[in-house]
Structure 1
Amino acid sequence: MKRAAGRGDATRKQGRILSSEVLLKAGLAHAAVDADTVPNPLKRMICQRDGMMIALLAVLPIRRRSFCELALGQSVHVSDSEILISLSEDMTKTGVPWDAAIPPQIEAALRQYIDEVRPALLARGDQRHDILWVGKKGEIMQQDYIGSRIGDVTLKLTGKRIPPHFFRDAAATTLARISPESARLIRPVLAHSGFQTAERHYNHAQTIEAGRDYASLLKRLKGDRS
């Protein structure tokens, strides 16, 4: 049924897997530069929130359910020195706990969302809860809404609709394009229990590297003739 509906078909992703760097830059720009040009305070906060969701997924492409369930003090731990994302066994598909520190590229912007934007949105609806991502009145946003929202915003920013699970493909593809050694990092980045996905991208990375060597050789040969 999935195949008949077009789901699970690799061709659906063709041309829609951007690099993590592109997604990160788009998210940060939306949360800062784009937001600064919005005169309406509420729309500006929504812009900051949406940009941070995209930027965070770009650097830590966790699964959608876990991303939507992130909660301060439970899976998001904020200290003076770092922000730590810590997923418990029931928040990962493999049942294995996973944690990672927020990279410095987005830490300041995420702190601003946590310290300023999120409390302001909660206050609009007199809401009190610990879920990280909140709606315009501080309500807890459902998974489907977050998924469609991220798709809408990435379409606006990049010209391609990138749903949350495509960020995982983007991370794997980006690492594979760097080098075969970087491709080995796919398993811990995606929190996979097995090596199959990492091995597949490792082989893909070797093919890319071989192609680069071949192109370099051709360039040198052409240079010798000239």
Structure 2
Amino acid sequence: MMNDHLTLLRRLRAASPLDEVPTREALSCHLAARVDEVGAPAFAEFAYLQIVAAKTWGAERTAHFARVLRDARLSPKAQDKCPWRTAERLAEFLPVEWRAALLEQIAISRKGQAVFGRTIWSSDYTKSVLTALGRWTEHCESAGRDIVPKATSLHAYGLNLVQPDAAGKHTTTGTAANYLQRIVAGLAVATRGRFLSKACEFVVADWRERAKNEGASTKTGSQLVGASALYGLGFRLMAEANARSLRGIRAATLFRDGLVLAVGAALPERARALTWLEFDRTLTLIDRTHIYIELPGEALKYPEARKAQAGYDVIFENPGLAEALHAYRADFRPIFDDGLHLFPSVHGKPGAITSAHLGRLTGDITEREFGVRIPIHRLRDNVATEASENLIGGAYAAKTLLRHADEAITGRHYDHSEGLKAAQEFDDFIEKRRKISAELIL
């Protein structure tokens, strides 16, 4: 007995490239009816219909099949909770005598308007301060210490943080320094300025100096593969997605991941800024060669009081990346949803993927390709290193690219250029000795 699925399957098999492709609306109605009739097996049936249709009309003209299937399979995910409400809940677990002042600080920071004598905090920094205060009070309760620290007790807490646990894991010196700084900053607010200790501030400065001398334990020289290599990997992933015979969510995700690397190398911003990229809002395709980026201060690493007035905007010429963005918007981005965020979630969450997810994603991709994890923030190191060696202006050019106020910051944290040029010369040498040279064109 013929059912709706077999009827449509027979029609698709008999179709010619000149026939009309079934519309998204018609396919949505068909799939909804089949789900009501047979349940989950309808999804596998529909996926096979796309394979058959792609043989007749090609991957590009049948990409909307994947969107119909995705919409039917995914239920809308809830929006992430408001970070300020999370901060208010964290404040409720702190000593009662601190809560009023901390909640007042949250309210002032949430408005984002400068108040004389008060420092505006970001939501992330607020949560970090409250978390640090929470851990500090728990430590004091278990150790029988006063929750208002002295230099000796604060230093002892830093030493406690860096001690390995039963599994051998421990907090780094840099992280411990951050915890101590946040405790001191949080107590200054919580006590309405009554806690002022030069000795504790000296302890924080000492721990920061220790961290600076030790360097970042998560950064290694093997993570410096060069911005060009990361940019090239991004285009190889996009070319692979473009060459697939079927335009489904896997192909769309592969193209998106390639774009993450290419954009991250061409626009060396922090992960948070990259998650703000959105077509026609913060990213505008002027033509087939020029791209306009306009990021608000909220997306950037600026003091909170400056974010309302400051921003970042640039027009740069990059025909390859512009062409990739055009292809992505037309053919691959609509497979996720109707949104305009450059890097959407595979799991159907509204908006862009988080900055933490972006870091894990680039780490996973580069570990597979290069054998070493390079999270998104370390792309900045690769850009700075390559720019320092190859651009006119050297470290000053790298400083401008990374928008550092001081050239010394670039040199201390990001420029590791020594030896990279020699490695690149060797790479050029072995590339010339290849028997076959092929260039992937998107």
Larger deviation, residues 22-31 vs 173-182: 173-182
Matched-pair contact (CA < 8 Å) for 1:61–1:171: yes
Which one has a bigger Cα radius of gyration?
2
- Measured in 1, the distance between the counterparts of 2:317 and 2:350 equals 24
Tell me the equivalent position of 2:313.
99
Matched-pair contact (CA < 8 Å) for 2:248–2:335: no
2:216 equivalent among 7, 10, 14: 10
Percentage of pairs with the same residue: 24
Residue 170 of structure 1, CA deviation: 0.8
Larger deviation, residues 103-112 vs 193-202: 193-202
Tell me the equivalent position of 1:158.
370
1:31 equivalent among 226, 238, 256: 238
- Measured in 2, the distance between the counterparts of 1:203 and 1:119 equals 38
Distance 1:38 1:152, change over 3 A: farther
Tell me the equivalent position of 2:339.
129
Taking structure 2 as the reference length, the TM-score comes to 0.41
Q: Which residue identity is paired with 1:97? A: G
Tell me the equivalent position of 1:185.
397
- Measured in 2, the distance between the counterparts of 1:139 and 1:72 equals 15
Query: After the TM superposition, which residues 1-226 of structure 1 pair with which residues of structure 2 at under 5 Å, given as runs?
Result: 4-6=170-172, 8=174, 9-14=215-220, 15-33=222-240, 36-37=243-244, 39=246, 41-80=248-287, 82-94=290-302, 95=307, 96-100=310-314, 101=316, 103-122=318-337, 128-136=338-346, 137=348, 139-140=350-351, 141-178=353-390, 181-198=393-410
Tell me the equivalent position of 1:125.
none
Matched-pair contact (CA < 8 Å) for 1:176–1:202: no
Structure possessing the higher relative contact order (Cα contacts under 8 Å, 6 or more residues apart): 1
Residue 180 of structure 1, CA deviation: 7.1
- Measured in 1, the distance between the counterparts of 2:350 and 2:370 equals 28
Residue 175 of structure 1, CA deviation: 1.4
Number of aligned pairs? 205
Q: Which residue identity is paired with 1:80? A: D
- Measured in 2, the distance between the counterparts of 1:138 and 1:201 equals 34
Matched-pair contact (CA < 8 Å) for 2:388–2:397: no
- Measured in 2, the distance between the counterparts of 1:116 and 1:7 equals 47
- Measured in 1, the distance between the counterparts of 2:260 and 2:363 equals 11
Distance 1:187 1:85, change over 3 A: same
Distance 1:197 1:103, change over 3 A: farther
Distance 1:80 1:7, change over 3 A: farther
Q: Which residue identity is paired with 1:98? A: Y
Taking structure 1 as the reference length, the TM-score comes to 0.76
Q: Point out where structure 1 has 5 or more consecutive residues left out of the alignment.
A: 123-127, 213-226
Distance 1:36 1:185, change over 3 A: same
Residue 202 of structure 1, CA deviation: 11
Q: Point out where structure 2 has 5 or more consecutive residues left out of the alignment.
A: 1-157, 163-169, 175-214, 423-442
Tell me the equivalent position of 2:79.
none
Residue 44 of structure 1, CA deviation: 1.1
